[in-house]
């Protein structure tokens, strides 16, 4: 049996249609899908790289922050020690000044007490003489 000419034409048209579909639809569609797949892979790789860099930057930031925080705490401790030492010096200086003022006040008080006693003794002697002169009715000479 010999194929009919229409069968050959149908086979030819089907092959032509398959070739046109392949050339005009399937290949461009496949190319677009492959390009999308490459773009997705590339984007995923870039995202993973960015994530790794972000993690590295975060670690570096945390390390630097911890180092700076440690340095600040050390400076604060040093400042506190210096201020405590200065406070001690000021307290010592104030204590010395207070002791010096107290000693000076004691000396002045002793001098004033001695002067007051001497004045009281002179006044008592003068009063005693005045009282004796009144009682005796004559002047008494003091030796």
The C-alpha atoms of residue 25 and residue 125 are separated, in whole angstroms, by 144
Within the chain, where are the H helices? 5-21, 27-136
Please say whether the beta carbons of 33 and 41 come within 8 A.
no
Nearest alpha carbon to residue 76 among 68, 139, 137, 142: 68
The predicted-structure confidence for 14-70, as pLDDT tens digits, reads as follows: 999 999 999 999 999 999 999 999 999 999 999 999 999 999 999 999 999 999 999
d(CA 130, CA 127): 5
| Residue 139, SS3 per DSSP | coil
Neighbours of 16 (CB within 10 A): 10
What are 63-97's pLDDT values in tens digits?
999 999 999 999 999 999 999 999 999 999 999 99
């Amino acid at each position: 049996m010999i194929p009919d000419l229409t069968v050959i034409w149908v086979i030819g048209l089907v092959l032509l249609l398959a070739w046109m579909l392949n050339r005009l639809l399937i290949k461009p569609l496949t190319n677009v899908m492959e390009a999308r797949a490459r773009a997705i892979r590339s984007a995923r790789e870039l995202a993973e790289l960015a994530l790794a860099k972000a993690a590295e930057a975060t670690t570096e930031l945390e390390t630097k922050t911890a180092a700076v925080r440690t340095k600040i705490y050390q400076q604060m401790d040093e400042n506190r020690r210096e201020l405590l030492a200065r406070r001690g010096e000021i307290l010592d200086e104030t204590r010395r000044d207070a002791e010096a003022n107290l000693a000076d006040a004691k000396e002045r008080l002793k001098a004033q007490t001695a002067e007051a006693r001497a004045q009281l003794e002179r006044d008592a002697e003068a009063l005693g003489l005045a009282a004796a002169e009144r009682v005796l009715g004559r002047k008494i000479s003091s030796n």
